[in-house]
Structures are given as C-alpha cells and as structure tokens.
Structure 1
Amino acid sequence: MPVLPGLPDLDITLRRSARARRFSLRVSSLDGRVTLSMPARAREAEALAFARAQEGWLRQALARVPQGAEVAMGGELPFEGRPLRLMPGSGRAIRVEGDSLLVPGDPAQVGARVAAWARARARDRLAEAADRYAAQIGRKVAQVALRDTRSRWGSCTADGRLMFSWRLILGPPAVLEYVAAHEVAHLVEMNHSPAFWAVVERLYPGWQVQRAWLRRHGSALHAIRF
C-alpha cells in the first residue's frame, strides 16, 4: 500500500478504474480510509504526486473523521440517544440503572457482551416498529434481519425481508423509528420516487429531522469500537 510521508504517515489505497478519466481522492467518514481512484493506464508515481499536491486537504478531511472510542468499563456508550456509563454489575444480565449500564462478568469481555446486548434490544425495537408501520399500510413484513452495515442503515427486498443496522439502537429512538418507517415504505414503492416519500410522510411525518440527524451523527455511531 503506498504511503504519503508525514506526521502521521498516510496509507493510501489505489483503485484503478477503466471509467476514471482523472485522479480523485476520497476520505471515508467511517474509518478515515484514503482511496485514490486513477485511470487504468496511469502510473502510480503520477497518482502519488497528485496525492502529495492534495496533502493539505487530505489532512483536514482526516481531522474531521470521528475518532471512535473503544467500549470499556468506566467509559460511556450512547444508548437510545443518551450516554450511559459502563460500570461493573452483579448477577448475569446487563441492565440499565439510572445513567449507568451495569455489566457483570469479565471486564475484558465487556465490548462483546455489550454489543450482543445492544443488538438484542435493537432487534426487539426494530421488529416491533416495522410490524406496526407495515400494519398501517396493509402490508406484512416477512423477516427482520440485523447487520453491522457501514454503507446503509436499512434495506428492503421485494419479498418483504427487511435488514437494519443494529447500531440504530445507539441513536435517539425517533431516528430508529424513521429508519423503520423508511424501509417499510419500500414494501409499497421499491424506489425513492415522490410516491415513495409520500408513503414515508404518511408513516412518519417530519422524517426530514431524523434523516438530517443520521447524516450529521451517523458516522459517530459507526466509529464506536466494540
């Protein structure tokens, strides 16, 4: 992998494309990965020269990428839109108590245990919301699946299977509700036409606020390391 020297050095992923007519740089808002797209026959030296010329912009863009904290005992984790302090707990089950998330067991396993706990809460909330919105438009959800997707918050297939990112449970409940309504609306319109957005508006009026929240803060949820 080519490296752009500096403080710190920048790793650059080169991607050749038959469609590319010029060099272009992209910085992922999720993990800070730098990708340089280049014409198929361009030389690597030319690509790196282009990157060096854009170094100022690159470092500014990287500075804006959220630095996700690792989930650990004593740290904070957003859950349903509010921060909870991770504290040692008794018994076997993880539970919310006031502003604390009590996690029993080995502190070294706290990340994996909390992720599994949050995923189970997300499944309950999303399945309930999806069924509720589907009933409002006379449709039925065939299946709800959860993933840790980075490219989208949800999806819908033509046969009624919905997929959601379980990290939605970390954000405000209203955001989760909007995404559930959005994907259920695809049971009527498998597109993003004005007709589709009319269904979304019927199911969740004022959805624009929640969509804007995801655009502003969604990358921070993805950046949390379990």
Structure 2
Amino acid sequence: MRIMNGHRAIDLSSKTRSVRLEDIGAQVEVRRHPGARRLTLRVSRTRRAVIVTLPLQCDLDEAGTFLNRHIDWVRARLDSLPNHVPFEHGAAMPLRGVPHAITFTGNKRTRLISINARQSGRPTIIVPGDEECAPKRLTRFLFDEAKRDLTVSVAKYARPLAVKATRIAIRDQTSRWGSCSTTGALSFSWRLVLAPPFVLDYVAAHEVAHLLEMNHGPNFWALVKKICPEFETAKQWLQVLGPDLHRYGPAHGESAA
C-alpha cells in the first residue's frame, strides 16, 4: 500500500503497520479488527497518532486510498491538538499540579536532579549532566517520583480494605491511567505525578478497589467512595484535563520508558 502525502508516497507493505508522515508530524497506524465492518479513521489525542482500522477482508490499498481521501480532515484534527511540550531546557511542565520550569545545567559533576522551590516565581526542576541525556534522566526521575507517590497512596487505601497489591509498576500508558491484574499487580501511568495529588490518590484508590471487585459495578464504586469519598472531583478532573498531561514528555520518537 502506498499513501500519498503531498508529493511523497509512503509504502505500507503487508509487513509494515506504522509509518510517520513527517510533514504533518504524526504516526500512522493501520490495524485489522475482526469486528470492524467498515474502514474507520481517528486521531489519538494522547499519542498524536492517526489510526486506520479496517475489516479483516479489506486490503491495505483500500486503507491507503481511504486515508488519502480524508487527509485534510486528519490535518485539521492534528492542528486542533494542543502542542507537544518536549523535555528540553527552558520548557515548562506541571509537577504534582504545580507549574515548573525545566533547566538543563550541563554540570557533569553531579547527576542528582533537584527542585528549586522559589519563594517567588515558578519552581525549577534542575537537571544536571550531559544535556543530550538530560531528557531521559528527567523522565527516569519522574517515573521514580510517580512510583514513590503511588506506593504511599496504594498502601494508604489498601489498609482499610485489608488488601495488598502484589506489585506496583509504573508505565508509559496512554489508554488508561491505571490497571489491576487478576494476580493483584497494579500498573499506573507515570504522568499521574504531573497531576494534583488528589488526582493521583483517586487513581490509586480506584485500582486498590479492583483488588476486591474486578468490575465497575455498584459494589466497586461503593468501595471507592468508602476509601476516597471525594473521588468524583478527581474523576471529573481526569476527564476534562487528563488528556493534556500527555502533551508532556520526551521528544516524539523517543521512548519514555
């Protein structure tokens, strides 16, 4: 399959499912789905990706034609998305709900990231070391901070329910803020550490409740309300403002793991 993008043709062979359209700054993913009855097209706000879903019997050439026919719609949707904020010197990002500035010092005599909580003005996340590696170092720092906060929060909500998580993992999840496996392992998005603490607490309580109720029925929500009475406020915050947390991270093409 060849996707025409401007004057350039991009080949999507039968072995290729993902290409990047450089001039519109987006990844294109082609997915076959057994339940799909027609071709569909959507733009992921969290991953800034163009996703084409097609039925099993549909060939890839049809997907290419379909995408070309709607390329103006794709560009319009991408243009409406908030700009990506890469981890770079001088950028601004939230940490625990508070706006922070990012400073790459280039100081190679220390590797310890620190936060300068200024009395006036915006607090600063100070990232030392080689500036080329600074974005990855900052990402690792945020993973660790998220793990620390979520470990404390999970323990706090697990106690009244007399349950215990078998493991807590921090991941670069884009489709959900947290998850609970049947073995009692909890996984969370690192971006929760960017949100206000009451939001992170709600997601921790939500997943802890799943240790007893692996569903979203009335009993589950009763458990959430029991341990986190004000959860509705945090739930609404995530629905309205949560997608914007995905603006922040390493530059496109770099792994956040």
Matches of 1:11 and 1:137, distance apart in 2: 43
1:66 to 82, 86, 91: 82
Taking every aligned residue pair, what percent have the same amino acid on both sides?
36
Higher deviation after alignment, 51-60 or 205-214: 51-60
Is 1:38 matched with 2:70?
A: no
Higher deviation after alignment, 124-133 or 86-95: 86-95
Going from structure 1 to structure 2, the CA distance change for 1:137 and 1:208 (only over 3 Å counts) comes to same
| DSSP 3-state at the match of 2:175 | coil
- Mapping of 1:1-226 within 5 angstroms? 2-6=2-6, 8=23, 12-87=28-103, 88=105, 91-98=110-117, 99-226=123-250
How many residues align? The count is: 226
Matches of 1:128 and 1:136, distance apart in 2: 14
For 1:22, the aligned partner's letter is R
Matches of 2:59 and 2:184, distance apart in 1: 47
Higher deviation after alignment, 8-17 or 139-148: 8-17
Matches of 2:218 and 2:167, distance apart in 1: 26
If the length of structure 1 is used for normalisation, what is the TM-score? 0.87
| DSSP 3-state at the match of 1:188 | coil
| DSSP 3-state at the match of 2:132 | helix
Going from structure 1 to structure 2, the CA distance change for 1:208 and 1:96 (only over 3 Å counts) comes to same
If the length of structure 2 is used for normalisation, what is the TM-score? 0.77
Post-superposition shift, 1:18?
3.8
Matches of 1:11 and 1:161, distance apart in 2: 31
Cα RMSD (Å): 2.5
Matches of 2:68 and 2:133, distance apart in 1: 42
Extract unaligned runs of 5+ from structure 1.
Answer: none
Post-superposition shift, 1:44?
4.6
Post-superposition shift, 1:70?
1.5
Going from structure 1 to structure 2, the CA distance change for 1:2 and 1:34 (only over 3 Å counts) comes to farther
Matches of 1:221 and 1:40, distance apart in 2: 34
Contact 1:30 1:65 in 2 (8 A): no
Contact 1:4 1:11 in 2 (8 A): no
Higher deviation after alignment, 192-201 or 34-43: 34-43
| DSSP 3-state at the match of 2:88 | coil
